[in-house]
Chains A and B, each alone.
Chain A
């Protein structure tokens, strides 16, 4: 039995200028420990919404279903509690924080998570050592740490910065929302390397993508096809290849 991530009948809506708009319509999904899954689907199928709902963004209202993570009711937790528990959302478009120094931000985040996990906080020296090891691993310049968070970063630098945060925060479960960035090969490669470097029995990931190309770099254990707020088909890596060759129509027709 899977007690890692189990999503059952998840329904969520967003307020669309006063009218509720249903986006997730009874989504079922399980990701076991140590596995990497991919979700693919056409535009508007609700892929990004799923990532935001799992990370705890407030503008989505969950109207039904459940999401359990490590036996806890994930949807009842604040975003920071989810992060402490080991959920990490890599943003498709990382947010810029003018006036917030990248190193200070990262140290605050790392220590907030360590505090919540009942681990000792890192002092300035300890943090610097840890972050230097990671930036070296990611071929990042230390100069990026001195800048404001994501301000003036190139697309590739933003992705690198997300991966740096992911590695520093040591999540158990990462959600990578790559819905629209499928065309930037460099960015994809950075994300893929980040995920592959964490791959192991204690790390799972859900990769949300529009294009099959990302899956050339990360080999998923399972691929799910999403449409109209539901998972409509699941299979192995061959699903991604079939999608690349024949498109989504075959699956959409099958459920119609």
Chain B
């Protein structure tokens, strides 16, 4: 990185809002990641650099409630924390007494540009802790933006599960306008604890979402995540998972459905730092129009991590000639007794299957929809919670119907 580079309007606006400290210095020095960084090759942020981003205006509780009903109706019932325009809406928040709210203390990852940006202008966020052997059930974490033109939010959240604790986090991100959302989530899963993280990114089609998840999983702990990406014109979901104790498990599964000129990048770095751990990734891309999917998945296996079991699969269904997928699996293995496999497939709908359905009287659009759903099934089926599965299913259905209409 050259410090001599002129500071972009975006960086200038971020610096004017940043706290003093290391993150601010790094942000000023490095700017937004450029294409010449290998990790950012497929996802250029050029356009983002061109204009400044202000802090969003606060909204009233009534506005926030209406927005919640419109953009995240699934969270109207049950426990939830709601953020609108980067601010927690206390009146809409209801937490179970099985969780404890603690002080935020988000580590800065100096080599991760999204952590640097998030850390430099970090506004608010929530830190939740679930005590040992407590099952806290499901909590919805809803992050919404309204009147969002040229504003940015940089929420930072933390989830800590003590030994044997359990939680399902339903993480819904959505909004209205041409905003930038740059959330971070720091996860700590202790021994035998289990976090299920279901993330639905359905941001405005003018918005940008640059999200970072940093998870550390201890012995016999599980971080089971599924991301459904439907929104944003440009998005990146970066997952860093560190398996630090024997028999730890991580799942980074996802489905990305992109149309128009949407671009979505799923980047993961899974570090096996202990023996007998298991990592699983099934990522499906459905790409219409000029939709562009990116998958970069790295599995790093430390010398100590014998008997590692790693699996990674990225599949793309191209529904148009202009659709595009970039897929880059990477294995870096220093242990000698491991089982790691990865694969990628790209294809169009099968003409014979389409004809078979149509020959049975099923109209063309409906036949296509059936085959697209079938393609997504092995990823969606990894969500075992019935209510969560139904939620994803409805969102996928609604998305598809809107695109086909």
Which of A's residues lie within 8 Å of B, judged by CB? Answer: 55-59, 78-80, 82-84, 88-89, 91, 94-95, 97-100, 105, 108-109, 112-113, 116, 165, 169
B362 close to chain A: CB less than 8 A? yes
Quick check: A112 and B377 within 8 Å, CB to CB?
no
Residues of B within 8 A of A59 (CB): 351
User: How far is B374's CA from A84's CA once the two chains are assembled, in angstroms?
Assistant: 24
Residue of B355, B357, B367, B373 touching A99 (CB-CB under 8 A): B373
A108 to B353, CA, bound (A): 15
The reply to whether A109 and B356 form a contact with Cβ atoms under 8 Å apart is no
17 residue pairs from A and B, CB less than 8 Å apart: A55-B359, A59-B351, A78-B364, A79-B355, A80-B359, A84-B361, A91-B356, A94-B356, A95-B355, A98-B374, A99-B374, A99-B375, A99-B376, A100-B371, A105-B360, A169-B360, A169-B361
Complex: A84 Cα to B359 Cα, angstroms: 9
Closest 6 CB pairs of A and B: A99-B374, A83-B361, A113-B361, A79-B358, A109-B360, A95-B356
Q: How far is the CA of A83 from the CA of B360 in the complex (A)?
A: 6
Please, what's the 1-or-0 string for B149-171, where 1 marks a CB less than 8 Å from any CB in chain A?
00000000000000000000000
CB distance from A47 to the nearest CB of B (A): 17
Q: A59-B351, A99-B373, A99-B375 are in contact. Are A112 and B356 (CB under 8 A)?
A: no
> Apart from A80-B361, A97-B374, what 6 extra A-B contacts exist at CB < 8 Å?
A56-B355, A78-B358, A97-B356, A112-B360, A113-B361, A169-B360
Distance in angstroms between the alpha carbons of A109 and B361 in the assembled complex: 6
Which A residues lie within 8 Å of B367 (CB)? 80
* Contact between B353 and A165, CB atoms less than 8 A apart: no
| CB pair B366 A108 closer than 8 Å | yes
Q: How far is the CA of A109 from the CA of B359 in the complex (A)?
A: 9
Most B-side CB within 10 Å, residue of A59, A82, A97: A97
Minimum Cβ distance to chain A for residue B8 (Å): 45
Docked complex Cα distance between A94 and B359 (Å): 12
Tell me if B361 and A116 are in contact (CB < 8 A).
Answer: yes
CB neighbours of A57 from chain B (8 A): 355
Which residues does chain A contribute within 8 Å of B360, judged by CB atoms? 83, 105, 109, 112-113, 165, 169
**B62: Cβ under 8 A from any A Cβ:** no
Contacts of B47 in A (CB 8 A): none
Number of A-B contacts (CB under 8 A): 74
Cβ B362 vs Cβ A112 within 8 A: yes
Q: Quick check: B362 and A108 within 8 Å, CB to CB?
A: yes
Whether the Cβ atoms of B364 and A80 lie closer than 8 Å is: yes
Q: Which residue from B353, B362, B371 sits with its C-beta under 8 Å from A80?
A: B362
User: Which residues 361-405 of B have a CB within 8 angstroms of A?
Assistant: 361-364, 366-367, 370-371, 373-378
* Nearest-Cβ distance from residue B375 to partner chain A, whole angstroms: 7
**Complex CA distance for A59 and B374, rounded to whole angstroms:** 24
B376: chain A residues at CB < 8 Å are 99
**Number of chain B residues whose Cβ lies closer than 8 Å to a Cβ of chain A:** 23
Q: Are B358 and A83 in contact (CB under 8 A)?
A: yes
0 or 1 for each of B342-354: is its CB under 8 Å from A? (1 = yes) = 0000000001110
Give Cα A116 to B361, complex, Å.
9
Is A95 touching B361 in the complex (CB atoms < 8 A)? no
Give the complex CA separation of A113 and B361 in angstroms: 5
Chain A residues near B352 (CB-CB < 8 A): 95
Nearest Cβ on chain A to B392's Cβ, whole angstroms: 15
Q: Residue on B with the closest CB to A149?
A: B356
Cβ contacts under 8 Å, A79 to chain B: 355, 358-359
Residues of B within 8 A of A98 (CB): 374
In contact, B359 and A89 (Cβ under 8 angstroms): yes
Q: Are B359 and A83 in contact (CB under 8 A)?
A: yes
A99 to B370, CA, bound (A): 9
Whole-angstrom distance between the alpha carbons of A97 and B359 in the complex?
A: 14
For A89, list chain B residues within 8 Å (CB): 359
Contacts of B364 in A (CB 8 A): 78, 80
Chain B CB within 10 Å, residue with most, of A56, A59, A80, A113: A80
Contacts of A165 in B (CB 8 A): 360
Q: How far is the CB of B400 from chain A (nearest CB, A)?
A: 15
Q: Within the assembled complex, what's the spacing in Å between the Cα atoms of A80 and B351?
A: 14
Contacts of A91 in B (CB 8 A): 356, 359
How far apart are the CA atoms of A118 and B366 in the complex, in Å? 18
Closest chain A residue to B373, Cβ basis: A99
* Complex: chain B residue closest to A99, CB-CB: B374
Near A by CB (< 8 A), chain B positions 302-360 give 351-353, 355-360
| Residues of A close to B351: CB separation below 8 A | 58-59
Shortest distance in angstroms between B312's beta carbon and chain A's nearest beta carbon? Answer: 20
CA distance A89 to B366 in the complex (A): 19
Would A112 and B366 count as touching, CB distance under 8 A? yes
Q: Which residues of B contact A113 (CB under 8 A)?
A: 360-361
